[in-house]
Structure 1
Amino acid sequence: MQVRKRQKFFSTFGKVELLSPCVLGCPAGIEIPACLGKLRDEKFEEALEIIMEKNPFPSITGRICPHSCEEQCNRKEYDASVSIKAVERFVGDYGLKKRMKVNLSKKTDKSVVIVGSGPAGLSAAYFLKKAGHHTVIFEKEKRPGGMLRYSIPPYRLPREILNEIISMVEKMGIEIRTSMELGKSLKLDELKKNFDAVLLALGSWKEKDIGIKGEKFLIPSLEFLKGVNCGLVKIVGKNIAVIGGGNAAVDSARTLTKLGKKVTLIYRRGEGEMPAVKEEVEKAKEEGVEFMFLTQATQAVEDGKKITLKCAKTTLGQVDATGRKAPIPVAGSEFEVQFDDVIKAIGQTPDISPIDEKFLDDHNEIRADVSTGRIKDEFFSAGDFLWGSSTTVIEAIAMGRKVAKSIDCYLRDNKVISEAPPDKEQVVVFEQLDIDTLKELRINAYRHIDKASTPSISLPERINSMGEEASSIGMEEVRREAERCFSCGYCRLCEMCVH
């Protein structure tokens, strides 16, 4: 696959390079209108090249990405946003089916070791190998993939797709060694001696504490999800509660319904504050998950073979450090509810126990430059392990690429340069254009076309299956979605938008 140099396009909104809102909305910064332009011309391989310049795993993100790019799409002001996620999945699967070869740069005499094979580690390995460096991944589990394999349920990310991605990475010449854990079979000093650069991408595997009495009676969500993904289901009760409002909480709740459980999800804020993917929340509702919003667990008591949760209703106060309104317990609203088991899923944090103190700051977090991932000298970090909390898969992939670029600069020139952020002043947003400009636009020259919807199995099939729920849109629908793109900021000389 030939790596394409970044193209520059000039918009009819002005003789300068502009930024599409969908590109700004994508954590990886994929040039989405350029990709869709290639698809209009049925140049599928070139469209794949554009995506893989920033995201080497579109078959994964085309399935599980929260697609913030679509939230920013200008087309939604006209009828509906372009179905970017579905298109990305099609293009990614096209590349896997075609077994497209990844072209590598000339080999260097440098070597890099990556500890962790989650999305950040795999992404960094891909780009470092493309740059010509000998790359080795060490993974503590028996199989590579990190959270992609052990946390995300197979109905969202089929394991055959993940295995194909792992196979692609290995065919590039990247060596993956499993059952190798930092602090046990691996020592940082030994890695430093044997490799020119060390990247720590261990992820966030330590469940956060709620901070209530009786917390020891609660099951960590990652422990539950990993058990299910490994075929080791430990939940025997029928009536189960899940505490939390993020993706791990909703994944746990939906997985439990597929196991025949009655599920109640308890969240201390309202539905609008839930960080989980909205589509997954809607599916959980359809599948019978009961939601108790504005409810906070205050204590867990083991009562025979059951767990009694003491709870209180909450109201929302001022915006806190998370950017959401803080939940405040309502006096006199206390009540109790009993369950067979309770799963806690309020977030994860990195396990820094195997890390030398010299790499930690006063808050016991990795002391690293978040823009480059550099910790000190030849040591770098990426993904959840760098940020100190769980992130989306696409954010981890994007950070893996950026840190790989930092490591490449370090190995070649012994210096690290951070990637410049996008210029938000150059974003083309219709609702922000002045009235005279809007009068000149001929947006209605575009036909109203329904947004392509991803085919999905029926609700009864969903509830009774761990298999993939959605399938890909077809080639004709991909072309139609490409035609729906307004190509904001990327003039294609169609003369449809202005007089």
Structure 2
Amino acid sequence: MATSSDDMKTMNFRRYEEGDFEHRPWQEEIWQAGWTHKCPTYVHRTPPCQGSCPSGHDIRGWLDIVRGIEKPSGEKSWQEYAFERMTLSNPFPAIMGRVCPAPCQDGCNRNQVEDFVGINSVEHFIGNWALENGMKFTAGADTGKKVAIVGGGPGGLAAAYQLRKMGHGVTLFDEHSELGGMMRYGIPGYRTPRNVLDGEIQRIVDMGVEVKTGTRVGREVTMEQIESDYDAVVWAIGAQAGRALPIDGADADNCITGVAFLEAFNDGRLQHVTGKVIVIGGGDTSIDVASVARRLGHITVENENERPEYVVLGQTAHDVASTAKREGADVLLMSRQPVDKMNAAQHEIEDALREGVEIKGALTPVSVVKDASGRAIALKVADLDYSTGKAVVVEGSERDIECDLVVAAIGQTGDFTGIEAMGNERGLIDSDKNFQVAGKPGHFVCGDAVRPHLLTTAIGQASIACESVDHFLKNQAVGKRPKVDVHHFNLLGKLKEWNLAPEEFKRLDPEEIKKAEGFAKEIDLGQRGTSDAKFAVHNYEDRSFNDIIPSDELFLGHFTYTPRHIRDNIEVSAEEVLGHFEERLVALTEEDVVAEAKRCMSCGMCFECDNCVVYCPQDAVQKTPRGESTTGRYVFTDYSKCIGCHICADVCPTGYIQMGMGD
């Protein structure tokens, strides 16, 4: 409703008179001797760890819980509260705390002080605690809608988890005998212990997920049946087919892919290798293949069907008794990139070298050398020179390396047998930013079928895809995704948790406004324009959906040198590696986990250090009364005392205080 001309005459907060279009120079406008027109505003922004996490973890949030800054409102332990926050985005903390390459740690602002925060180690501890203490998930109220999920890997399981939380019915189809996808069939058990994996999967199934294993959509069940029986479909089929070497001779039977090799091993069929093994790659999958081959060991072939390629191709399986004859395997891992530029995690490279894997970089495969029967007997390779900035084959460097098995770990693609209509020319599925399948309403996708990447990427995509599914099932338009698309801390939600939610805004009746002598009186009655009103969160701005806070906006001088608490890693030597399938990573103790969480700088959110209170020369910044305080509302500013000196913002370690224009 427009403001009446009478009311306009009584408005008393205008900074300029009618016809006054000139303002003073900006320096004079803002600064006046010992005071300014600026005042502290509390600005919430996304920390770079979270911005770097493909699953969108509220990392700062659960680290603040572990360290004791953010507390639950009830009687929950900090471990349970941290688990609940952690699994808003990722239902596999015990697995991801072990195997995620942790791009969050690369992005951590603490790197500017001495070293990143050990985010994975804290997640590892909480994940273990949750399994040991029987933590469960709760499904939402039943909506009556049914969703089919095709694929039981990290993406499909994460989608089942998110959809059940929303209350939608879920049936999960997977062609394997067990769920887990790449977590089970693509990563060896000494990195993802099977009891841990089974526990985290069962927690999702127990939410009421119907599971149909040994069932391939496109073979046992048609796409038409799926579309007829379900209200929506989520495709999480992964990229289960490895890419073959694009060189002459790579069609030999004993040239196989890393994906097929690891699946045969994790399925229990492959129990030893024969002869020398050459692994081609440079990423984590190639390291896993080489490390598994070293553990399996080598035997001299007595029967043709003992050769590993026949096992991998599913034609036979190894007899356990034959492994008694095994010896250490001769394994070479070669990469087109120099060793120091390989994509694999540095600690994984170091472990492989210690375990006896030979690693050579700047080497390219040229062709596969076959014998008269068509078997590969050698791999022709050549050196690469990077001195020009590009890979150039060194003339005259070609040579043959004898081998009995060639394993290519150079990429993956999808298998669309029976569902050809879903695939594109790259062997993947096309989708938009909301993970809706192009041209197929009601179909959604997540995980490696979109783009082969990390497990945590599949989990993050599943969360977004499920929001799109929810909108579709409710006949709602799918809105634009935020620029910083993660699971954000919600201050209003936190206030509600502590029964501190703002009061309901009640607008005065127009007739009452007139009786109250105009618009200016409405202001006096606390309807707007005052920090005393209780219907809003004052002087708080949420920029987390658009802004990631960099290290140069923190007060780094607050943080003293504190060494990282590093998990122990059981080092396996080349002599010990044969048959060594025990877990290598040792979880931190509770004491070390809490100490490590305290190294977090809580970028973009108050962590209650008291600097602003201590250093304010006017006593304008004060602690929020105990009964009204919670995370993000630890301090407030008495603006009648504030002179805008900027000191509170200068000494704020986390960048949570920003100076904004005031009256």
Q: Which residue of the other structure, out of 453, 458, 462, is the alignment partner of 1:396?
A: 458
Superposed CA deviations along residues 239-273 of structure 1, whole A, max 9, x for unmatched, are 21101111211100111111231211111111243
Distance between the aligned counterparts of 1:148 and 1:18, measured in 2?
33
Amino acid at match of 1:261: A
| Structure 2 equivalent of residue 373 of structure 1 | 436
Matched, 1:189 2:224: yes
| Structure 2 equivalent of residue 79 of structure 1 | 114
Matched, 1:347 2:415: no
| Structure 2 equivalent of residue 449 of structure 1 | 562
User: Where does 1:72-151 land on structure 2 (aligned, <5 Å)?
Assistant: 72-151=107-186
SS in structure 1 of the partner of residue 43 of structure 2: coil
Amino acid at match of 1:250: I
Amino acid at match of 2:383: K
| Structure 2 equivalent of residue 322 of structure 1 | none
Amino acid at match of 1:456: N
Matched, 1:479 2:577: no
Superposed CA deviations along residues 353-397 of structure 1, whole A, max 9, x for unmatched, are 32243x45566642321433334211111111122xx21111111
User: Where does 1:137-286 land on structure 2 (aligned, <5 Å)?
Assistant: 137-217=172-252, 218-233=255-270, 235-259=272-296, 260-286=328-354
Q: Percent identity?
A: 32
Amino acid at match of 1:141: H
Q: Post-superposition shift, 1:138?
A: 0.5
| Structure 1 equivalent of residue 606 of structure 2 | 491
Q: Post-superposition shift, 1:456?
A: 2.5
Question: Is this contact kept in 2: 1:287–1:463, CA < 8 A?
Answer: no
| Structure 1 equivalent of residue 549 of structure 2 | 428
Distance between the aligned counterparts of 2:588 and 2:385, measured in 1?
42
User: Where does 1:292-441 land on structure 2 (aligned, <5 Å)?
Assistant: 292-303=360-371, 307-316=377-386, 327-357=391-421, 359-361=422-424, 365-375=428-438, 376-387=440-451, 390-422=452-484, 426-430=547-551, 432-433=552-553, 441=556
Moved more, 92-101 or 137-146: 92-101
Amino acid at match of 1:34: G
Distance 1:364 1:268, change over 3 A: closer
Superposed CA deviations along residues 130-188 of structure 1, whole A, max 9, x for unmatched, are 10001010000111111111110011101111111121111111111111012210111
Q: Structure 1 unaligned runs (5+)?
A: 1-11, 319-324
| Structure 2 equivalent of residue 15 of structure 1 | 42
Q: Structure 2 unaligned runs (5+)?
A: 1-38, 69-76, 297-327, 485-543, 613-650, 653-663
What is the TM-score normalised by the length of structure 2? 0.68
Distance between the aligned counterparts of 2:188 and 2:611, measured in 1?
44
Distance between the aligned counterparts of 1:105 and 1:424, measured in 2?
26
Amino acid at match of 1:269: Q
Q: Post-superposition shift, 1:493?
A: 2.1
SS in structure 2 of the partner of residue 310 of structure 1: strand
| Structure 2 equivalent of residue 467 of structure 1 | 582
Question: Is this contact kept in 1: 2:380–2:401, CA < 8 A?
Answer: yes
Question: Is this contact kept in 2: 1:75–1:82, CA < 8 A?
Answer: yes
Moved more, 242-251 or 365-374: 365-374
Question: Is this contact kept in 2: 1:114–1:201, CA < 8 A?
Answer: yes
Q: Post-superposition shift, 1:238?
A: 3.5
Q: Post-superposition shift, 1:224?
A: 1.3
SS in structure 2 of the partner of residue 298 of structure 1: strand
Structure with bigger gyration radius: 2
Superposed CA deviations along residues 417-449 of structure 1, whole A, max 9, x for unmatched, are 35323169732322x34xxx75xx5324x4x33
Moved more, 375-384 or 309-318: 309-318
SS in structure 2 of the partner of residue 192 of structure 1: helix
Give the superposed CA RMSD.
2.3
